[in-house]
Copies of this chain bind each other. A is one copy, B any other.
């Protein structure tokens, strides 16, 4: 339904930050709380909460607050969008490889 470029824009932007990828790595070991994320990352819970908003916004993470604890976990649908983008572009850079081969065969003639 959402095939706008804004989707992939937010997705790449979210993944472009090392702290956010570190959060994803931590969540790969299983769901955990905001405070338990902040510890190993060496930043405040406020900072983690801000990152989580961004990660949730592009469906890389899903969070659910039960009582006073917000439990965070990996949300696969965001990654699916990423894979879709790559799949859509793979043919192009594969053909770039072919073109390189052609260029090597014909050597020159570009302008």
Task: Say whether A5 faces chain B, with CB atoms less than 8 Å apart.
Answer: yes
Q: How far is the CA of A34 from the CA of B32 in the complex (A)?
A: 47
Counting chain B CB atoms within 10 Å of each CB, the highest count among A21, A28, A100, A110 belongs to A110
* Interface range on chain A (Cβ under 8 Å from partner): 35 or more
> How far in angstroms is the closest Cβ of chain B from A65?
12
A44 within 8 A of partner (CB)? no
Q: List 28 A-B contacts (CB under 8 A).
A: A1-B109, A4-B18, A4-B21, A8-B21, A9-B16, A9-B18, A9-B21, A12-B12, A12-B16, A12-B21, A16-B16, A66-B110, A69-B111, A71-B110, A73-B99, A74-B96, A76-B93, A76-B94, A76-B100, A76-B110, A77-B109, A77-B110, A79-B89, A79-B90, A79-B93, A83-B86, A84-B111, A86-B86
